[in-house]
Chain A
Amino acid sequence: MPDVQDAHGAQGDPLTLNAALVGRTYPSTPAYVVGREKVREFATAIGDLNPAYHSVEAARALGYSDVVAPPTFAFVVAYAGSSQAAMDPELGLDYSRVVHGEQRFSYARPIVAGDSLIATATIEAIRSVAGNDIVTTRVELATEAGEPVVTTTTVIVSRGTAEDPS
């Protein structure tokens, strides 16, 4: 998810989104299989040496079956789901103006290597504030067996006025 995309073209009328899509749930994504090396790669990329992210032994000592993914890794897994909503042509969102406004996670448990997760996205809210269109999308991440793991909520803002990107 880009935090800011093309800030050009930020002129003209505020976008009018299709509010009828509030409550729409998209088809679940194919399973994302969480690899041990991917978890280590992501943890390394954020500079986090927490042993639970790198060492199977350390993770098992904490009661997990394999290395634990850092909390924000859930966003990577959820992205295929959340982008289904944001890029739904029926929504009418101009993705070139989109800014990441807020991000929330609610964890039933941490993601661990070996998880096979499906993402199911729902548009939770659509509103317009001060000329900006704001879309809230919730993604439920669950195992293929149906165990809930993480709920992610992403608020994106499509800026209708030429203000500084944030």
Chain B
Amino acid sequence: MSPITVGTVVPSQTFRVTRLDLVRYAGASGDFNLIHWNERFATSVGLPDVIAHGMFTMAEAARVVTDWIGDPGALEEYAVRFTRPVPVADDDRGSEIEVSGEVTEVLDNGRVKVMLTATYEGQKVLGNAVAIVRVA
């Protein structure tokens, strides 16, 4: 890894999420809220469609950081705001969450601050998404 400075780009990734992914995540996380798998219920409460778990999106966004640093234990802090839901249609294509990151601050003790951007169809789905990572 070349020296990490302010402006260092964390390689972006695109994560596809399908209904099957949401069902699998519901089982693994224990979050069986109907809005994440039952379209009839989701639309009845005013959502455009079934929506992805916010924690699923947060998990995907973290992968950009952990893939970059290699050792997931180097992540010291991770925080997001959930600003917009990610609808997931009942098709084989699913929805795409694009995540990019950039080092915005070099901290003490070999740590850096990474600001993450996660979008669905060009609109941000996470706000103030920040990771503090040990890189040295």
A residues contacting B by CB (< 8 A) are: 1-8, 38, 41-42, 44-48, 50, 52-53, 62-64, 68, 70-72, 75-76, 79, 99-107, 109-110, 153, 164-166
Contacts of B85 in A (CB 8 A): 3-4, 165-166
Q: Which residue of A lies closest to B16 (CB)?
A: A47
B residues contacting A by CB (< 8 A) are: 15, 21, 24-25, 27-31, 33, 35, 44-47, 51, 53-56, 58-60, 62-63, 66-67, 71-73, 75-85, 128
Q: Are A72 and B59 within 8 A (Cβ)? A: yes
Contacts of B75 in A (CB 8 A): 71, 107, 110
Q: Are A71 and B72 within 8 A (Cβ)? A: yes
Given that A46-B63, A70-B72, A72-B58 are known contacts, is A107 also in contact with B77, CB under 8 Å in the complex?
Answer: yes
Specify which of A1, A5, A104 is in contact with B55 (CB 8 Å cutoff): A1
Q: Are A50 and B78 within 8 A (Cβ)? A: no
Minimum CB–CB distance for A151 against chain B, Å: 9
Contacts of A109 in B (CB 8 A): 73
Query: CA–CA, A93 to B31, complex, Å?
Result: 19
Q: Are B24 and A165 within 8 A (Cβ)? A: no
Query: CA–CA, A45 to B53, complex, Å?
Result: 12
Query: CA–CA, A110 to B62, complex, Å?
Result: 14
Q: Are A46 and B56 within 8 A (Cβ)? A: yes
Q: Are B45 and A44 within 8 A (Cβ)? A: no
Q: Are A4 and B84 within 8 A (Cβ)? A: no
Query: CA–CA, A146 to B49, complex, Å?
Result: 44
Q: Are A4 and B27 within 8 A (Cβ)? A: no
Query: CA–CA, A5 to B42, complex, Å?
Result: 9
Q: Are B78 and A3 within 8 A (Cβ)? A: no
Query: CA–CA, A50 to B64, complex, Å?
Result: 11
Query: CA–CA, A102 to B130, complex, Å?
Result: 12
Query: CA–CA, A38 to B29, complex, Å?
Result: 10
Contacts of A8 in B (CB 8 A): 44-46
